[in-house]
Every structure is written in C-alpha cells, then in structure tokens.
Structure 1
Amino acid sequence: MKETLGAYDYWPYENRPKITWPGGARVAFWVAPNIEYYELDPPQNPQRKPWPTPHPSVPGYSIRDYGNRVGHQRQMALLDKYGIRGSVSLSVALCEHHPEIIEMCRERDWEFFSHGIYNTRYTYGMGEAQEREMIRDSLEAIHRHTGQKCAGYLAPALSHSERTLDLFAEEGQALFGDEAGFYTCDLFHDDQPTPIRLRSGRRFVSMPYSLEMNDTIVYAVNKVEPRHYLTMLKRHFDRLYAEGAESGTVMCIPTHNYQVSCPHRIKAFEEALEYITGHSDVWLAPGRVIASHYLAHHYDDALRDIDARAIPARRR
C-alpha cells in the first residue's frame, strides 16, 4: 500500500543512496517567489471562500497588489545582489495582468512554474476534464508568454485533487515531451528530492518546498517576528548543511512579494541570504535544474532502494 495520494512509499531518511550535487556542494539552495494574482471578486467555490471578509475584501486585495507594485522589485534586487535566479511560482493570469513583471523575470533568466491561473480559483470540486484543462491552459500560457516549457507545479492556493500530479505530468509530456511536467512542490514530505509514482509510469520527482519556511505561514499564520524568522532560516540551513556533508540536501525559501518584501521584514530576508550564500559549498540553482540533476543522477538508485526496503505487501 502506498502512502498519501498513492504517490510515494514510506522511505526512511537513514541510509539512503548518497546524493551528490555539482561541485561537491552540501546543499542545493533555491528561492521560489510566489508571484500571484488574486481577483477582487472571484467566482465562489462552495468548498473554500477566497476571502475571509465579505466582498469586496479591499485590504486583502490591496496588500497583494502592493506586492506586485512594490514588493516584487524589492525582492528581485536582493536576489540579484546574491546571485540567485528565482523559480517563480506563477499565477499564470499575471502574464496578461502584469506583463512587465514577467519581462523583468525573463531578463534575469528566472524559471517559471505553474501555480494555477488565479490564486482565488481552486482545484476543489473540479472533475478530471476540468482540472486537466486548467493545467493545460497554464502550461500553454507560460510557454506563450515566456518561451519556457514549464517543469514544475504547485497547485493554486495549495488546492489539490487525487489526480493533480498525474494530470500535470501527462499534460506536460503531451505538450512538450520530457522537457516539461516533471516535478512537483505539492507534497512537503522530505528534505531531499524523492521519486513519485504516477499512473503513467513517467519519471517524476517531488522537490523540497518547505511550508515551515514559507513566509506566509511564518508571518500570517504563525505570527512570527522578522528577527525570529531570520533565526529560523539560519537554523534550518545549518541543519541541512550539516547533514549535507553525508548526502546532499535541498533548502527552499518560498516567498511572497507582499510578505517578505514589506519594509520592516526585508532586512531579515537579506541577512538570511547573505548567511546562506556566504558558504562556499552551496549550489544556487532554480528548481528545474535541481530536479533535472536528481532525475539524471539519483532517481534510479532511489527507486531501487525504495523497492529493496519495501515489505512484500507493499511490493504487491
């Protein structure tokens, strides 16, 4: 029996096959700026309200608009300063609402991966055909506006179905072959990339994308102060760096331009980036590049080890 969504098996961290990163790095480090578009008056979904306050939710909408007007530029300047190419978790509607942001990211050769169309429209309640159409639309739009063949997926507002990973992999391959649709950020279950089992049998990987380090979870949910967020990021890195001496680990900081880029918070983020990039054996790479390296060099060894450890009932 497979765990969670039928996508992966239980696979303990200890004694896995060793992961090696380019240049002997201990940690593969990536930053995933969520650049999102929220509608002021989105269609209602019976399973989830897009805004916690009655329509129109001017404060909620406005702070997110602030992120795209002000915060994005502030964060981009920092990533430039520390030589980090962002991996954009993109609400694809942004391509038409704010093409100037897309162009700034393209100029820097940032990666774009799909975060759905709007972050106020959810997978909940969709049938398979409707979800497939939404995923295909996002893949085609990213390619049309950026020229990139989208490799990764994070469900809009973290809303999933049991078919989401299968559909993303199938649509990516159907549109662009092996260059698209080969990793997910939706599982949050490991500090290393791990193989995912799909109904198609396609090679597919889960990338570490930490909700614990996600600035929205930190600031809006857990109510952490910026100085404590800095401490959290450093301690998170220190542990992964220590363990990476034995086998490579991955650290991701998921950000939102209306959270981490507020004036009273941006310094903590800058100090964290300075600390992490100050270590020489850290590989700075977009999510796509990290996932591709893992697929090419470690995926098969991982699958063999998973199968070797599985009890007979699970093998069946």
Structure 2
Amino acid sequence: MHPDPIPYSPIRHRPRLSWPNGARVALWVCPNIEHYEFLPKFQRTRDPWPRSPAPDVLGYSIRDYGNRVGLWRLFEATDALGLRCTVSLSMAVLQHYPAILEAMERRGWEYMSHGIYNTRYHWDFTAAEERAAMLESREIHRALTGREQRGWFSPAITNTLNTFDLAAETGFDYCCDLYHDDQPFPVRTKTGDLITVPYTVDLNDVIVWRRGEEIESFARQIRDHFDTVYAEGAEQGRVMCIALHPFWVGQPHRIRGFQRVMEYILSHPGVWCATAAEIADHYRANHLAAVEAHLAAREAIHGR
C-alpha cells in the first residue's frame, strides 16, 4: 500500500472541474443489487447474520424482497425518469438470477463489482485471496456480458490494506470505497492508475433504514443535498451519488417518494445524469493531469 494513498487537497484550492455542456452536477444513481447467502460461512471478523445461529430468516428474507419485487418496481421508476444506473453488484446475481441480468442489459446499466456475495467479507483476506476474488469478479462479468469491468466497490465495504493496489493491478480503473470528496480524485497505488468516483453513505437508503427514518426524511435529505451542490456547482463542478437498496426503496409506500424527489432534481438545467464510468472517463481525460500537477506543486511546498 502507498504510504499516502489519498493526498489532501481542499476543494476550493484545486483546479476548476467542469462537466460536459457546462453541467453543475454529475448525478449518478447507484442501486445496490446484492446476493446474500442463506447459510453463509462464518468468518473471523464478522457474522454475516447477527441473529445466530443461521439461518437468519428475517434478515435474509428482508433483503430477498429486493431481488424478487423491489428491483422490478425500481426498474419501472428509473425507466419513467429516464435514468441509466450504475449498479453496485454482487456478481453472483448474474449467475443466480438471469432475469435480472437480462433486465439490466436491456437498460444499458453499468455493473461495478461489489464482490461475489455480500455475505463474504474481505477484511481478513490475504492479498492472494483478495486478488482471486477480484479476478473472479472480472471473469464472471466478462463471461456473461462480453465486456471488461471498470469499477470496484468492496463487498459490505470491507477493505484491506491491499485493496487499492490490487484493484489497479487486476484491471479496475475506478473505485468507490472512499466517500471523502465531492469530486473524483486520484488514488496512489503501487500497481497502476486508479481514481475514486465518490460513493455516499449519507444519501444512502440503508443508513436511513438503520436510523428508523422513512422515505420523507430520505427525500428531504436528497433535495437539500442537491440544492447545496447545485449552487456550488456554478463555480466548481460536483458529483452527487444516490445509493439505493431495492429491498427498501422498492417498497410500495416508498417508491413514489423517490420518484418525486428525482423529478425535482431532473427539472433543473445543468444536471448531467451519468454512469460512474462516464464520470471517471471525463475526469481522467479532462482534469486528472491538472490535479496531479496541482498535488505535485503542493507537495513541493508543504511536503504533502
């Protein structure tokens, strides 16, 4: 691991970031389409189902609703909104549920890897084990889509000291394991080029769920967040991610609240609805070199 993988840079001091057609905000919507094993193996760092002993029928079935029902409701909502999403995907979904793969392919959605299963954590993985999981993910994606996979997001946000180096080494060119900025940013690795595309744990419905809040609260947070970054984006482009879990947002009493707040956002000019890879590509082609030069100049003066 690089000793300083995420160099510090105040957003107000770095080179100006602009989006296509003068957009203020690059918006990406990220459904987490996950596979949870009914009887997962126990790992040393965390029990996948805390209501032990397995099976945790309650925990499993709550999440299974997403793939059976909630996701299909979310498909209809995003179709009506004209949104093309980037999926945080447990790659086993493609193997177990071909109907979901077919539906996502028809919509042209992008799939970044969220590991194989969301019940297999990486915290205690050796470098060899983590590398093997990343390569397996890429192989599943290649075999079932014919495309190379671009993005990495560790399952259940379980990182190791090797994650960034291994992601770059195995061919991923962006990662979403960091939530530290409102713009893409380079990650220093020993093995290749890697940038972050900002994910979110704030505009994330599963966090709202765990706090016992409802869709009205989530929608208000989304709207207030958008109003702020939209105003700031007039001077310096911003990224806004909305992270969704179909088992929560896809419930009948929540989906309309999500649609309404998205309609509000999309009524504004200067919102670029993009995939994570499109955001990464624009940043890499138009801004990465200037940011790297800015960081080098800062380090020459300040030492870091």
2:217 aligned residue: 228
Answering whether residue 295 of structure 2 is matched by residue 303 of structure 1, we say no
Report % sequence identity: 44
How many Å apart are 1:52 and its aligned residue? 1.5
Conserved 8 A contact 1:5-1:162: no
1:213 aligned residue: 203
How many Å apart are 1:32 and its aligned residue? 0.8
The AA in structure 2 aligned to 1:269 is: F
- Give the 5 Å matches for 1:183-202: 183-200=174-191, 202=192
Conserved 8 A contact 1:122-1:159: yes
Once the two structures are superposed, residues 216-238 of structure 1 have per-residue CA deviations (whole angstroms, 9 ceiling, x without a partner) of 01112x22221111110001111
Q: TM-score, normalised by structure 2?
A: 0.96
How many Å apart are 1:169 and its aligned residue? 1.3
Candidates 6, 20, 42, aligned match of 2:18: 20
Conserved 8 A contact 1:203-1:295: no
2:229 aligned residue: 240
Once the two structures are superposed, residues 39-95 of structure 1 have per-residue CA deviations (whole angstroms, 9 ceiling, x without a partner) of 011011011110110111001111111100100011111111111111011100111
- Once residues 182 and 81 of structure 1 are traced to their aligned partners in structure 2, the CA distance between those partners, rounded to angstroms, is 31
1:155 aligned residue: 154
2:143 aligned residue: 144
Q: Provide the alpha-carbon RMSD of the alignment.
A: 1.5
Candidates 288, 293, 297, aligned match of 2:277: 288
How many Å apart are 1:145 and its aligned residue? 1.0
The AA in structure 2 aligned to 1:208 is: P
Q: Figure out how many residues of one structure are paired with residues of the other and give that number.
A: 303
Answering whether residue 200 of structure 2 is matched by residue 204 of structure 1, we say no
The AA in structure 2 aligned to 1:214 is: N
Structure 1 residues not aligned, in runs of 5+: 173-180
- Once residues 147 and 314 of structure 1 are traced to their aligned partners in structure 2, the CA distance between those partners, rounded to angstroms, is 45
1:276 aligned residue: 265
How many Å apart are 1:311 and its aligned residue? 5.8
Structure 2 residue matching 1:13: 3-state secondary structure: coil
The AA in structure 2 aligned to 1:40 is: F
- Once residues 25 and 4 of structure 1 are traced to their aligned partners in structure 2, the CA distance between those partners, rounded to angstroms, is 34
Once the two structures are superposed, residues 151-182 of structure 1 have per-residue CA deviations (whole angstroms, 9 ceiling, x without a partner) of 1111000001011111111111xxxxxxxx11
- Once residues 83 and 314 of structure 1 are traced to their aligned partners in structure 2, the CA distance between those partners, rounded to angstroms, is 47
Conserved 8 A contact 2:112-2:150: yes
Structure 1 residue matching 2:16: 3-state secondary structure: coil
